[in-house]
Chains A and B, each alone.
Chain A
Amino acid sequence: MAEIDGSCRVPLFLMFVSGAIWLVIASIFGLIASLKFHMPDLFANCAAMTYGRVHPVATNALIYGFGVQAGLGVALWVIARVGMTRAAQPWLIALGAKLWNFGLLVGVIGILAGDNTGFENLEIPRYGVVFLFLGYLLMAIFILATLHNRGERLLVPSQWFLLAALFWFPWIYFTANYLLLSHTPVRGITQAVIAWWYSGNLNLVWFGLVGLAVIFHFIRQLMNRPLYSRHLAAFTFWSIILFASWCGVPATAPVPAWIPSLSTVATVLTVVTALSVMVNIRKTCGTGCAQTENPAPGKFIAFGTMAFVVAWFLNALGAVPGVRSVTGLTWYGVGVWELNVFGFFTMTMIGAIYYIVPQVTGMQWPSVGSPKRHYWFALLGVLLIVAPLVIGGVVQGLNWRNVKMSDLDVAKNAVKFLRVTTIGEVFILLGNLMLLGNLIGLSVRYYKLHFVPVYKGALAEVKTAGVKP
């Protein structure tokens, strides 16, 4: 077991620490973006700091810097553990992660310089995308190799979910970026349809598959009991693949009616995914969760599960024709996105990180209570961000329909809700700084414990051999 964990140490360290750094960057930029609504003159003279460049940096750093990277790291660990096999070629996985980080860094600088592609979740310009894609391929190939090397041939639900996700991401990423950013891109509104398709598949399908895989695994890990029903997990799997892959196109889109109709039907149907997960987890947890001496990861993952169910319910609700005419193109969609990406996926991955890193390094976190403190900050932050956005979105939608209210008044009213959201962003930033601090503190202790004695010993050997150091 320790050997398996140890084999993952190098790539996981790199991915988690880089992920935490990107998470902090995302929170800082997210806070700046949020502040600009209340202080329009902030950085008004700086082109790189305009809202339209700061906002995509925040979302891309969150999604690609932390989301996909930490997701792949946790996936590697889960696959290695469940398959009872060492990670395959950990140094190559680490190289893939370095390529990924390089591509994202180059892309983020490009966005700040004005090379924003304009498509949501796809803002990284072409020169960054190439490195991101190559890095992903490197990481995914060896994670799949780890899966291939497994001892027990029968697959558990977590493995099906991760397998599907690992294959699906390169397909959607390559398709979207090639068709939109190559030298002969598709023309006209087709660009927007493809961008929406990619966005829905990334946020719902990919994050859903990976996040649920991690949740299913940790329920067994932390509570030492199996998932209630494999059949229900299969039902969840197929419902995500069949329905959630068609979500993403808003009903108001300027495209022929069949495209948004199919997307609307699919989005409403994703409610069965949320229901199936709810039933499965409720029946598994039954009479409450077992207590462990390290409750923080469990808290994060429990919150992540609840956030998943609520986010997918709200998403499906937002597509119902009567509701959508109010909530379409408002802050409601942004709130649901935040709940899904941050409340569900990021919190789940943070919980996984708080569990995995001690396992993999054999050390404890520098401050015992810190993960729990982080949890409360993050919980408060998510609630303060999501609730005003969802409620504010509904109010904003009603106001847009009220023709007597001028455009300016509607915008000003919506911004009142954003004041609460900005406070939430501050809490999230503090929590993420805690994560980074914990990771850096632990790595310093690891270094002191493992490398310093080796270094001192080598130095002593050299001295006794009479060679001047």
Chain B
Amino acid sequence: MKSSTNQPVSNAPQDLGAKDPVVPVWLIVVCFLLLYWGAVYFDERGGWFSTQVYTPYVSTEQLNTIAAMQGPPDPRVLGAQVYGRTCIACHQGNAMGTPGTFPPLAGSDWVNEKEAGRMIRIVLHGFGGPGLVVKGQPFSTASVMTAFGSPPLVGLTDEEIAAVITYVRGNTEWGNHAAPVTPEQVKAIRDKTSSHSQSYTPAEIMTVNPAD
């Protein structure tokens, strides 16, 4: 028999002139069935592209339910998060601030006052101006602390302010050992000082009674 191995392989039109069989119907049906199964599977288990849903959980609603089941989170967590988002830029991660520009929060008597009235006002309405001395070091007049009391831009809610102040006041690693602060206290002071639109100056804040 003549060897077929040395013939040129033609892809010439006579090859293709014959009717080309179509894809078998059953294969198309299988393909669609599997696509349907795939769609259902992804709907059930895919978490709909959420970054937080991992197998075996199915949705962020389920994760929220579970989170709620564990009771309210440790307020220090919220405080640390707020600090890490907001305060860390100036006061630094170790709460030592920058000499001359941003005062430290670690071991500062401004932080460790028995009543937190001054601290709450500072966070709500901002702070800056001449004559600031913290732990014996003077700080410049040029830098002004933003007012964090008013949402939506840089503003924090009462819970967040209370959490971050509690976190800073109670952080023993930083040498602070003052009592925590509740959101109600923050709200009371916010209402009391609602008409105070300028940031506090050191001179002005010294006239405030912390227990107020």
Contact = CB atoms under 8 A, between A and B. Distances in A.
Interface of A: 1, 81-82, 84, 152, 154-156, 217, 220-224, 226, 228-232, 235, 239, 251-252, 254-258, 260-262, 264-266, 268-269, 271-272, 275-276, 279, 283, 290-294, 321, 355, 359
Chain A contact surface mostly:
helix
B55 A260 contact: yes
B9 A264 contact: no
B16 interface: yes
A258 to B, nearest CB: 5
A272 B41 contact: no
Interface string B134-175: 000000000000000000000000000000000000000000
Nearest to A159: B11
Contact of B8 (A84, A229, A251, A321): A84
Interface in B35-67: 35, 37-38, 41-42, 45-55, 57-58
A323 to B, nearest CB: 14
B22 A254 contact: no
A230 B16 contact: yes
Given A224-B7, A261-B45, 5 more contacts: A155-B11, A235-B27, A257-B50, A258-B42, A292-B3
A151 to B, nearest CB: 10
Q: Most chain-A CB neighbours within 10 Å: which of B6, B48, B57?
A: B6
A256 B54 contact: yes
B50 A293 contact: no
A222 B5 CA distance: 6
Interface string B118-140: 00000000000000000000000
A261 B42 contact: yes
Contact of B4 (A232, A252, A292): A292
Contacts of A294: 5
Interface in B1-30: 1, 3-9, 11-13, 15-16, 20-24, 27, 30
B181 to A, nearest CB: 36
A231 B46 contact: no
Interface residues of B, number: 40
Given A230-B20, A256-B54, A359-B6, A272 B11 contact: no
B23 A256 contact: no
B4 A224 contact: yes
Nearest to B51: A256
A229 B19 CA distance: 9
B8 A256 contact: no
A255 B51 CA distance: 8
Given A258-B48, A258-B49, A359-B6, A279 B27 contact: yes
B46 A257 contact: yes
Interface of B: 1, 3-9, 11-13, 15-16, 20-24, 27, 30-31, 34-35, 37-38, 41-42, 45-55, 57-58
Nearest to A256: B51
Nearest to A254: B54
Contacts of B45: 257, 261
B46 A290 contact: no
B50 A232 contact: no
Contact of A269 (B20, B38, B54): B38
A221 B9 contact: yes
B47 A256 contact: yes
A264 B12 CA distance: 41
A33 to B, nearest CB: 32
Contacts of B20: 229-231
Nearest to B52: A256
Contacts of B46: 257-258, 261-262
Contacts of B7: 224
Contact of B27 (A84, A223, A276, A355): A276
A235 B23 contact: yes
A217 B5 CA distance: 12
A260 B42 CA distance: 10
Contacts of A283: 21
5 smallest A-B Cβ distances: which pairs? A265-B38, A261-B46, A257-B47, A229-B21, A224-B4
24 contacts: A1-B6, A84-B8, A154-B13, A154-B16, A217-B9, A223-B4, A229-B22, A230-B20, A232-B21, A232-B23, A251-B55, A257-B54, A258-B46, A258-B50, A261-B41, A265-B37, A265-B42, A266-B38, A272-B31, A275-B27, A276-B23, A283-B21, A293-B5, A359-B6
